[in-house]
Amino acid sequence: MLSRPVTQEEESFCEANNTTISDLPTRSCVLYRYIPDADSAEAQLVIPTAERELIMQRHHNDPMARHYGEDGTFQKIAKRYYWTGMKKYISDYIKKCPECARFKATNQKPAGLLRTLVYSQRFEVIAIDLFGPLPQTDSASALQCSTTLIEEIFMRHGITRRIISDNGTQFISALLQQICFTLNISQNLIPVYSPQSNPVERKNRNLKPHLATLVGKDHSNWHSKLPVIRFAMNTTVCDTTGHTPAYLLFGRELRTTDDVVQDFKRTVHNDNFVAEITPYLKLFATITKDIRERIEKNQRKKQYDKNHRPVYNSPGDEVWVTLHPISNAKNKKTSKFMPKSDGPYLILTQKPPTSYVIASLTNPSEPIATYHTSALAPFKDMDISPVAPLQKEADHEKLRPHQHKIRMFKARQLLQQPFPAEPSIPQQKLLLQQLIHLIVSPRRDVIGFIREDCNPRCLDSFHINSRETVTPSSGQNNLQ
């Protein structure tokens, strides 16, 4: 039985759990949680708020613990300790652990949903890339790429407003940058290790099997097959847009070999050209709107988004950046032991739709690189406050008689001293810390506190301010 008045919180707790105050397990003024019907019928020590950080460090950061996941860490701690909301506390702690973020691979779905932009004008934006290496081809230099871009694109379809490309040396050369600057063209380099940001990568993927089926055994004549493949691509309906590339570019379908054999289309003469072209122009005006709706309902987008998760990064956020380490046998370095992430870094700006420019925290005004959203992970700061370790007590057989008296005197003096009517937060923390260090280890039969000698107000303040909850045992008396 308690020798102090029952607090209001204890009455509410007992009423909610259909139990009495006498069923609350206690031992030497220390509260326990005991469930005899559980798989392990061991009492769990109820941990105050001030000591939870230390418990986590011992069971997660310690070399003997080795940064196990949420379930493994929870099982180890739950065998001996308990506090309200322990599972969520452990989960939040592990998510903020910097060592886990650096070296552990994530099991989550890749970040970032598929976003395809729709433009109002043809050749407003172009995406370029190199395909190869192929037999008997000269190396693609910056001069060759720039010449092809001007002669085959700009002189045929007009000067574009934006160019999308990867970070190849041909595309970041001073020559191409000077051309873009002179013609007022915005050059967008896709983030590293994110080929999905370049729309032309998908066409390169289709081009490979097309060439393989046409060249046969003679791989040297691949260039003669390109016009046929280009014509096939331009006359095939795209699943995303619902139209052929030729129709979206010219406003009409190209005349194919089928039209030569069976010409169902009437030739448009000069006298009725306007009457024939007007319906196409009206229809073409609504194509952009229809394409936007089709993109959102596109099956490829649904399949892509099914295996990815949405992320919401904003300028000013701190993030981890995914690394791609490479082993180096000469320097005796293996990628298995290298960090998987680095950080934290600061997001400066966003490059629509899914790229971000980052900078270091030490020099936030200087951009470092551009990364795709799939390469970024939110950084959660771990606010680790210094916590004094629990004192290990010697066995009671080794304690001398005067040490028993000194310990009991300190405990009684602490718990019987007058408690302020409105204790300040530092006073509360000091009392909690002193109580914890004066309480001996719960796993040993050693000298502890005598509950009848404790000041009830001090005990109430200790448990209330620590916000502890004790789960009563059904029909179980206090621990002996």
Strand, helix or coil for residue 437 = helix
Q: What is the pLDDT of residues 233-277, one digit of tens each?
A: 999 988 777 888 888 888 778 888 877 766 666 554 455 555 556
Confidence bin at 458 (pLDDT 50/70/90): very low
Q: How confident is the model at residue 73 (pLDDT cuts 50, 70, 90)?
A: very high
Q: How far apart are CA 167 and CA 129, in angstroms?
A: 10
- Token reading at 211: 């060439």
How confident is the model over 122-130, as a mean pLDDT?
89
Report whether pLDDT(453) > 60: no
Cβ–Cβ < 8 Å for 384, 327: no
Residues 323, 326, 327, 333, Cα dihedral to 10°:
-50
Show the DSSP H helices in 45-128 as ranges: 49-56, 70-78, 86-95, 98-103
Lowest mean pLDDT among 95-99, 133-137, 311-315: 133-137
Weakest mean pLDDT among 3-7, 31-35, 71-75:
3-7
Listing from the earlier edge strand, what are the strands of the sheet with 125-127? 125-127, 162-165, 186-189
Upstream peptide bond of 353 is cis (omega within 30 degrees of 0): yes
Gap between the Cα atoms of 191 and 38, Å rounded: 53
Please check the confidence at residue 307 and state whether its pLDDT lies above 50: yes
pLDDT at 91 over 80: yes
Average pLDDT over residues 400-417: 44
Average pLDDT over the chain, rounded to whole?
A: 73
Give residue 288's pLDDT: 67
Confidence band, pLDDT 50/70/90 cuts, at residue 186: very high
Better pLDDT: 5 or 288: 288
21-35, 57-71, 234-248, 371-385: segment of lowest average pLDDT: 21-35
Least confidently predicted of 157-171, 350-364, 416-430: 416-430
Q: Distances from the Cα of 211 to the Cαs of 128, 201, 218, 239, in angstroms?
A: 19, 16, 11, 22
229 sits in which H/E element: helix 226-234
Element spanning 163, H or E: strand 162-165
| pLDDT computed for residue 353 by the predictor | 78
Give the pLDDT mean for 333-348: 89
The gap between the terminal CA atoms of the chain, to the nearest Å, is 13
Q: Which residue type, as a one-letter code, is found at position 376? A: L
pLDDT at residue number 444: 34
What are 45's strand-pairing partners? 32, 81
For the stretch 202-245, pLDDT in tens is 888 888 889 888 888 888 888 888 899 999 999 998 877 788 88
- Cα 218 to chain centroid distance, Å, stands at 48
DSSP letter (8 states) at residue 31: E
User: How confident is the model over 81-99, as a mean pLDDT?
Assistant: 89
Nearest to 27 by CA among 363, 443, 466, 437: 443
List of long-range contacts for 314-317, beta carbons under 8 Å, 24+ apart: 314/347, 314/350, 315/347, 315/348, 315/349, 315/350, 316/346, 316/347, 317/346, 317/347, 317/378, 317/379
Residue 4, token pair as written in the block: 């102090």
What pTM value is reported for the model? 0.57
pLDDT-derived band at 114, boundaries 50, 70, 90 = confident
The residue with greater pLDDT, 270 or 341, is 341
Torsion over CA: 313, 314, 317, 322 (sign):
positive
Q: Is the pLDDT of residue 452 over 60?
A: no
What confidence score (pLDDT) does residue 24 get? 56
For 432-461, what is the mean pLDDT? 42
CA quadruple 335, 337, 338, 344: dihedral sign: positive
Residue 237 and residue 251: Cα distance in Å, rounded? Answer: 14
Q: pLDDT tens, 388-406?
A: 444 444 444 443 443 443 4
User: In which residue are the tokens 């379930």 written?
Assistant: 71
Percent of the chain clearing pLDDT 90 (strictly above): 15
pLDDT more than 70, % of the chain: 62
User: What's phi and psi for 107, nearest 5 deg?
Assistant: -100, 5
